[in-house]
Amino acid sequence: MQNSPSFFDEGIKLISFCPLCQAKQEKMAVNILEKNETARLVHLECQSCNTAILALVMVSAAGLNSLGMITDLSADEVLKFKDIESLEADDLLDFYQMQKKNKFWLSELLNEPVGERA
Ligand SMILES: [Zn+2]
């Protein structure tokens, strides 16, 4: 696995859809809030139903992982709260640890398979 930007782009693409109204990638406004060697913190906002999702895309030894949660924070608000430390990458990592065994958290949220529609 390499950490090339396009590798992350692929991961972000994979999670770029709305779990509530099923809007596709083109409807999702994507903001990369923070990036480092192994992770991207991404804010996704559905232009159809205004659902916002905060997602973490990570590269690990096991490959690309992503996790996310529905939020009512805007991208700006996430950055603001992140700065005052009420929301940190660590919080998301904790969430990740919880969800670790459930790789397909988002598809389960949708109650339908995601990876099979190529
Ligand atoms: Zn939506």
94 in any annotated domain: yes
Across-strand partners of 59?
Answer: 64
CA of 1 to the centre of ligand 1 (A): 32
Ion ligand 1: residues, Cβ under 5 Å? 18, 20-21, 23, 46, 48-49, 51
Can you give the residue range of the structural domain that contains 80? 5-107
Residue 2 has what pLDDT?
52
- pLDDT, tens only, 16-73: 989 899 999 899 999 999 998 889 999 999 999 999 999 999 887 888 888 888 998 8
Residue 118 has what pLDDT?
47
93 in any annotated domain: yes
Answer for the pair 40, 32: CB distance below 8 angstroms, yes or no. Answer: yes
113 in any annotated domain: no
| Tally of domains in the chain | 1
- Report the share of the chain in percent with pLDDT over 90: 30
CA of 2 to the centre of ligand 1 (A): 32
81 in any annotated domain: yes
In which element (H, E) is residue 110 found?
A: helix 105-110
